[in-house]
C-alpha cells in the first residue's frame, strides 16, 4: 500500500477504460473516410461509433454509482484553493459532457439506435428542427469535451513533471 491517497482499483479501471473508448470513438468519426474501405464490408463505422458511445454512457452512470459508494480520495494539496476549484470544476463538466454527448447523439436521429447489432432502441419522434438542434449539441459538446480533456491531461502532467506531487500516481499505481 502506498503512503498517499489513491483511487480504488475499480475507479482506476473505469478511468483508463473510458480513455481508451473515448479515443476510439473520436478516431472512428475523424478517420471515417480512411477507415470505411477497411471496415466497410464487415462493420459500419457509425454502428461502432454509436455503440461504443452508448457503452461510454453506461460506464459513466456506473462510475457515478461507484463514486457515490466509495467517494473520491483527496489528492490535491489543501492550500491550493484555485487549483482545487479548477480541477473539480473541470472534472464535473467532463462528467456532464460524458452524458450530454452520447444522449444528444441518440436524440439527433429519427432512426432507431442499433447497439452492437444486439439491442434496438426506438427513436423519439420530434420535429426536424429538434433533431437539428441535438445534432448541433452533439458536435459542439463533443469538441468541448475534447478541449477539456486536453486541459485535464495537461493538468495531470503539470502535477507530475512540474509540481512533482503524487496526483498522477493516485490514478496510476497498483494498490
Ligand atoms: C462519448 C461518446 C461520443 C463522442 C465523444 C462522440 C463524438 C462525435 C464527434 C466528434 C462527431 C463528429 C462531429 C462532426 O465533426 O460533424 C460525431 C458525429 C456523430 N455522432 Fe457521435 N459521439 C459520441 C457518441 C455518439 C452516440 C451515442 C451516437 C448515437 C447514438 C452518436 C452519433 C453520431 C453521428 C450519427 C454522427 C455523425 C454526424 C454527422 O455526420 O454530422 N455519437 N460524434
Ligand atoms: C492521458 C490521459 C489522462 C490522464 C493522465 C488523466 C489523469 C487523471 C488524474 C491524475 C486524475 C486524478 C486527479 C484528481 O483527483 O484531481 C484524474 C481524474 C479524473 N479523470 Fe482523468 N486522465 C486522463 C484521461 C481522462 C479521460 C479521457 C477522461 C474522461 C473521458 C478523464 C476523466 C477524469 C475524471 C472525471 C476524473 C475525476 C475522478 C473520477 O471521478 O474518476 N480523464 N485523471
Q: 47-67: per-residue pLDDT in tens?
A: 999 999 999 999 999 999 999
CATH of 9-172, one of 1.10.510.10, 3.90.1150.10, 1.10.10.10, 1.20.950.20: 1.20.950.20
Place of cell 477497411: 38
Question: Closest ligand 2 atom, CA of 19?
Answer: 27
pLDDT at 41: 57
Question: Closest ligand 1 atom, CA of 22?
Answer: 5
The rounded Å distance from CA 76 to ligand 2 centre is 13
CA 4/CA 149 separation, integer angstroms: 24
Q: What percent of the chain has pLDDT over 70?
A: 95
Nearest CA to ligand 2 atom 37: 91
125 CB burial (10 A radius; 0-12, 13-18, 19+)? exposed
pLDDT digits (tens, 9 = 90+) for 17-50: 999 999 999 999 998 777 777 765 556 889 999 9
In this structure, what are the phi and psi dihedrals at residue 76, rounded to the nearest 5 degrees?
A: -90, 150
Amino acid at each position: 500500500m502506498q503512503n498517499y491517497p489513491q483511487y480504488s482499483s475499480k475507479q482506476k479501471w473505469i478511468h483508463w477504460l473510458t480513455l481508451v473508448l473515448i479515443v476510439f470513438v473520436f478516431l472512428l468519426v475523424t478517420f471515417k473516410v480512411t477507415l470505411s474501405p477497411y471496415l466497410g464490408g464487415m462493420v459500419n463505422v457509425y454502428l461502432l461509433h454509436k455503440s461504443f458511445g452508448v457503452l461510454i454512457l453506461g460506464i459513466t452512470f456506473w462510475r457515478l454509482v461507484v463514486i457515490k459508494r466509495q467517494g473520491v480520495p483527496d489528492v490535491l494539496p489543501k492550500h491550493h484553493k484555485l487549483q482545487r476549484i479548477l480541477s473539480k470544476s473541470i472534472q464535473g463538466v467532463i462528467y456532464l459532457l460524458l452524458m450530454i454527448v452520447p444522449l444528444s447523439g441518440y436524440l439527433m436521429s429519427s432512426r432507431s439506435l442499433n447497439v452492437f447489432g444486439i439491442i434496438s432502441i426506438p427513436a423519439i419522434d420530434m420535429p426536424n428542427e429538434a433533431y437539428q438542434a441535438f445534432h448541433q449539441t452533439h458536435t459542439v459538446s463533443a469538441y468541448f469535451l475534447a478541449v477539456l480533456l486536453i486541459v485535464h491531461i495537461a493538468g495531470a502532467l503539470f502535477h507530475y513533471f512540474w509540481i512533482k506531487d503524487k496526483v498522477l500516481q493516485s490514478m496510476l499505481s497498483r494498490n
